[in-house]
Structure 1
């Protein structure tokens, strides 16, 4: 096998491990502050240390993993200040994304956004945490693609990866899950049905603001305890 062929084989494998480890961190299979032992990762994902190290470096660049001197890689821990900063950025970018989607998305993308909302509703009914996460990710993939702006999509995916670590805290707030569905329904109607940029922007901003309030509220309760 040529060097180029080996590289092409290794790259998709690394991507698979990055995606799998990212999902595990977001789903809190690995808790904030928990060490990510290379030998354990190799066994869990059936890959070499080289692939694991490359995956960890990628996740470090996304802010999901922290390299601690004399200890090694561990799952990043977000402070309240970190979370506030992330939600501020997410609110601004997602508001812009909603507006751009309403202006630029194709008819097929609008149809897809409505379909993804249906998948989120079905996932919530199923009470399957992994299915909920996948459905929400699918929704945002369509929303970001419809902006026609790859830079917004790139930045938002990075921010989302980190705020997803707080999703369980956000959903722990009473009534938050039902509110999330209502908020996403408003976003979808404005962005994909009526194609109203101003309303889509406002709906996205409201959704992120409410998610932030819920997550930060739960964080403060934990700190107070």
Structure 2
């Protein structure tokens, strides 16, 4: 439900309010609702999410630890900025980790995990066919969650979650590139097919290619001043 057009937090969700606000704000940042460098006013966020100032401050501290928010002297919390060079470095690390995740999944993923990955791919395909960016981002997050689970490596999981939190800022750029939805689905299909067949090298190469294409799309739309 919402109040006066504002997203509200469902009472049935058991997670602490802070984590609910973190997730909603993270989604807003990923969707480009707030520009890099834009100030995040506590009063506005309290009104938007219908929570206390304490909850908002806790959520902002959480996002600061993820690198999505920066605290600026005499200004307060602002949306973190990424230079093109920083973004390129981020994609470089993401490519290496996802390649290892795909390779590991192909080597030791269970049949059940592979079915879950196929189902997650179908969700991505449906979301991209509908064309709603927020739904696309959610479906891709789920796809990567299944990919990391299948890798069976806690450290890959932890590091990739941190990287993905930063990459979220760039996804609305990469996915907004002409034809990117179609290309992204094609790339994910190659990854899934390689993992399902147990082709570890193929899965690794497919993951590297997917991240490379995403990086090219995002960096081509990232201005030098960002």
TM over 0.5: yes
- Paired residues of 2:83 and 2:224 also in contact (CA < 8 A): no
User: Which residue does the alignment assign to 2:119?
Assistant: 115
The aligned runs of 1:36-185 (5 Å cut-off) are 36-185=40-189
TM-score under structure 1 normalisation? 0.90
State the TM-score, normalized to the length of structure 2: 0.90
**Structure 1 runs not aligned, ≥5 long:** 1-8
- Match of residue 5 from structure 1: none
- Which structure 2 residue ranges, 5 or more long, are not aligned? 1-12
Residue in 2 that maps onto 1:3: none
Q: Quote how far apart the aligned CAs of 1:10 are.
A: 10
Q: Would the aligned equivalents of 1:64 and 1:76 in 2 still touch at CA under 8 Å?
A: yes
Aligned residue in 1 for 2:17? 13
Q: C-alpha deviations, 1:57-104, integer Å up to 9, x for none?
A: 110011100100000001111110110110110011010000011112
- Aligned residue for 1:172, secondary structure, equals coil
Residue of structure 1 equivalent to 2:198: 195
Shift of 1:170: 1.3
Q: Is the 8 A contact 2:29 2:168 kept in 1?
A: no
TM-superposed deviation, 1:148: 1.0
Native 8 Å contact 2:173 2:221 kept in 1: yes
User: How far is the alpha carbon of 1:175 from its aligned partner?
Assistant: 2.2
Q: What's the Cα RMSD here?
A: 1.6
Q: Give the C-alpha shift of residue 174 in structure 1.
A: 2.9
The number of aligned residues is 213
Equivalent of residue 211 in structure 2, options 208, 213, 222? 208
